[in-house]
């Protein structure tokens, strides 16, 4: 299952000062203090926020609508389109959650905001939001020529916005041991770069891949590196084979990097 990434969100706000505000999203226009069976205090504040969360891809494959409701600055319940229901956050919100969940028309109205509010606004925002796809390269190296262990450095560069997910795969499965993460750094031209290192002992036939997910990509891209030609021990770790790439691009020469050293083009 693709992990949700709050790469973008749209939020609106309305308070009890103007409960009939027409500029608010539809669910918030329906939010009025009279809907809550709460003991009125001398002074109180009712608030609501609507939020859209988008998954990776353009257009996003997954969209989630959330509507949060607050009483005196404490969230008491919210609607979650993934569940299609209202959930009480505090005991104070339990009666309203039960009441609103019993209304099919209200649930359908809130669920429709995924398309009417979230997707519609995402299309408008996407037209003005800059996105640049990353360039992905893999560089093998050996710190000790006598050691069977090899360092593989994956570099994702030239991407925007800065949020990105990079992972190492070994024979199709995510590698978790010997993985070192670098920071996301600015390039000075409104793009970013990051690196991830994998230290492992390759065996004949092992295939490694660096997989990257980014808002500019409709699907993740992967650059592969394998050991199908010769054992690394016979060529000093410098005969890495690019077994293929899936939607990626190869970058040029670079020096320094997040982990130091240099990497070339493969």
Query: 190 and 219, same structural domain?
Result: yes
Which pairing describes strands 164-170 and 173-174: parallel, antiparallel, or unpaired?
antiparallel
> What is the predicted pLDDT for the residue at 33?
43
Q: What is the CATH number of the domain that holds 149?
A: 2.60.40.10
Provide the 8-state DSSP code for 48.
E
Which of 126, 152, 186 is a domain's end point? 126
Query: 97 and 199, same structural domain?
Result: no
- Evaluate whether residue 77 is within a structural domain: yes
- Evaluate whether residue 117 is within a structural domain: yes
> Which helix (H) or strand (E) is 111 found in, with range?
helix 104-111
> What is the predicted pLDDT for the residue at 37?
52
Query: 74 and 146, same structural domain?
Result: no
Query: 63 and 144, same structural domain?
Result: no
Query: 176 and 105, same structural domain?
Result: no
Provide the 8-state DSSP code for 201.
-
Which of 126, 151, 186 is a domain's end point? 126
Query: 184 and 201, same structural domain?
Result: yes
Query: 166 and 115, same structural domain?
Result: no
Per-residue pLDDT tens digits of the chain, which is 266 residues long: 444 444 334 444 444 333 333 333 445 444 444 444 555 555 678 888 888 888 766 667 789 999 999 988 899 999 999 999 999 999 999 999 999 999 999 999 999 999 998 888 877 776 667 789 999 999 987 666 667 788 999 999 999 989 999 999 999 999 989 999 999 999 989 899 999 999 998 888 899 999 999 988 888 999 998 644 333 333 333 333 333 333 333 333 333 444 443 333 33
Query: 244 and 141, same structural domain?
Result: yes
Q: What is the CATH number of the domain that holds 56?
A: 3.10.320.10
Query: 212 and 144, same structural domain?
Result: yes
> What is the predicted pLDDT for the residue at 129?
73
- Evaluate whether residue 209 is within a structural domain: yes
Query: 155 and 195, same structural domain?
Result: yes
Q: Is 25 helix (H, G, I), strand (E, B) or coil?
A: coil
What's the count of helices (H) and strands (E) in the chain, helices before strands? 5, 17
Query: 154 and 74, same structural domain?
Result: no
> What is the predicted pLDDT for the residue at 237?
39
Which of 76, 100, 126 is a domain's end point? 126
Q: How far apart are CA 228 and CA 222, in angstroms?
A: 18
- Evaluate whether residue 218 is within a structural domain: yes
Residue pair 13/49 in contact (Cβ under 8 Å)? The answer is: yes
User: What residues make up the domain containing 116?
Assistant: 11-126
Query: 245 and 215, same structural domain?
Result: yes
Cβ within 8 Å of residue 43, ≥6 positions away = none
> What is the predicted pLDDT for the residue at 166?
96
- Evaluate whether residue 3 is within a structural domain: no
Q: How far apart are CA 75 and CA 90, in angstroms?
A: 7
- Evaluate whether residue 232 is within a structural domain: yes
The token pair at 121 is: 């606004």
Q: How far apart are CA 4 and CA 102, in angstroms?
A: 28
Q: How many domains does the chain have?
A: 2
């Amino acid at each position: 299952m693709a992990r949700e990434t709050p790469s973008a969100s749209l939020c609106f706000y309305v308070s009890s000062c103007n409960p009939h505000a027409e500029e608010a999203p539809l669910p918030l226009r329906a939010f009025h203090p009279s809907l809550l069976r709460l003991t009125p205090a001398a002074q109180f504040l009712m608030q609501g926020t609507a939020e859209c969360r988008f998954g990776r891809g353009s257009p996003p494959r997954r969209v989630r609508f959330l509507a949060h409701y607050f009483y005196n600055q404490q969230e008491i319940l919210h609607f979650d389109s993934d569940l299609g229901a209202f959930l009480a956050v505090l005991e104070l919100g339990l009666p309203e959650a039960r009441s609103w969940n019993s209304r099919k028309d209200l649930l359908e109205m809130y669920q429709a905001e995924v398309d009417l509010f979230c997707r519609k606004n995402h299309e408008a925002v996407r037209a003005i939001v800059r996105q640049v796809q990353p360039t992905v390269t893999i560089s093998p190296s050996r710190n000790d020529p006598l050691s069977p262990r090899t360092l593989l450095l994956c570099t994702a560069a030239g991407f925007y916005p800065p949020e990105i997910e990079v992972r190492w795969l070994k024979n199709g499965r995510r590698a978790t041991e010997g993985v070192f993460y670098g920071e996301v750094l600015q390039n000075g031209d409104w793009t970013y770069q990051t690196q991830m290192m994998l230290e492992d002992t390759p065996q004949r036939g092992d295939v490694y891949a660096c997989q990257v997910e980014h808002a500019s990509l409709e699907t993740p891209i992967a650059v592969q590196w394998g050991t199908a030609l010769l054992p690394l021990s016979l060529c000093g770790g410098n005969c890495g084979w690019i077994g293929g790439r899936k939607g990626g691009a190869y970058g040029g020469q670079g020096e320094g990097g997040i982990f130091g050293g240099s990497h070339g083009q493969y």
